[in-house]
Chain A
């Protein structure tokens, strides 16, 4: 037998099975109606659950995007300070964060689609339940139990099928959401632990930022040294012969870092020729 026929037959059999135990056909109407109302509540709750998951993923995307922006910024600063190694590290971590973001975006789209499907399913079920209620009252008012049987059978089997379908849609949405909840939980933990801030490092602190801060503070010291030299230099100009224009450069330290001359931080302070790396602070 074909796929469609088997699916159809078994689906219908199952959809109608729940009603078999009701003896009086007219009771079937009330019993079915009760279950319809329960299912309506369930499908609406399903929509809300999927929406909650979707919002959670959205929040995580935003957090990771901030993280990605921060790493890019760190990369830029490291490069400006002549630390290509540090810049590479920052950009490598950024690419990891970006991978997470892409994954979450796919999840977001899938949850959004699920939410739409369930919303439409709930509207369709609502329309059918309303129609059923009207039909139910008509049947009860107009026909005797014996006469009503056929009409009840028609109305009930139509809506039972819808209920089976909606019930499955909710089940599928729940399964999908549960999978994503588990992954979202893992990312929440990562975000909370700070592991994403320190993607490959071992410490709890953001080691790239620590290094940048170290570069920045040593360059602050440089600027101070140069300033003091400048002051002293007014009394004894011969002291700064190795660094022409040092005093002026120190005054515009912010721009000086963009001139591209690499100055390894390990260089002894006096020999750094007034080339301070990025003077800006991290955040």
Chain B
């Protein structure tokens, strides 16, 4: 039998300790950029942990933490243009924040309020909301990319998913149509090694997830998802290529889910403390911090100031969230159709009357 073995490329610039693994690309000379990237990762982490704390105190509902995967979202979010469109999955706090979704909107979404998906920021008006049915977003992204292509626009659809999602028919059908139609789309896989309790090794028989692109006729590669310089570099190239109409790209980012699957999950049930401990050694924030410190552009003073600044921003967002109140009863019914059908007018009356009889609404959270 002929040998089918393929080896998609793998990119890493920094070792886990933040030292040079491979010579840096030219753009990485810009320490302002690197510092900005670092800042965004820290802000993401501070906000992410606040979200977890809010869930623990019953002020928002189930939340999917991003702990340990900040590099991926910050990198792709910072590279996308405002006219590009993000079609995320549900563990995408980092990229949402980079795109311009407000922190209080993220809290509203997980806090059980649809206004969290009605982004105020015009720059993200066309970004999709988070997606729960696994991998279905990949097909929506293909639809978005199709629209770009049909209209001749130089815009890119960027869609994210986890390692588990790549097993799903929707994902494979998305790759297929993207390849068949050479769509302007970048698929970013956050391979954090775990699909709830199912480890990567039993999720798929292929040695890499990146090589699924080959079956669909386009380019796929792996990148160290804990190395923001690597993610940034490869994503930049992927976006440029795709934007030029050279077809889709699949970027598999190797990371680790340092937190639980969600705030309701307990990962200690199915994975060893040793493994998690080891993964902490490779995490992205400390890695970049070490590199920046070694270059002399970061120190404890700046770190403290940054933490304080981030905490302030997060607190502002929490206050805004607390002040958001509750949606009206009408809002529950009036957005189902462009205009609530006359045939169902009686239902609407009954519903609103019933809502009035209910004592107040539910507080957000729980």
Binding partners A and B? no
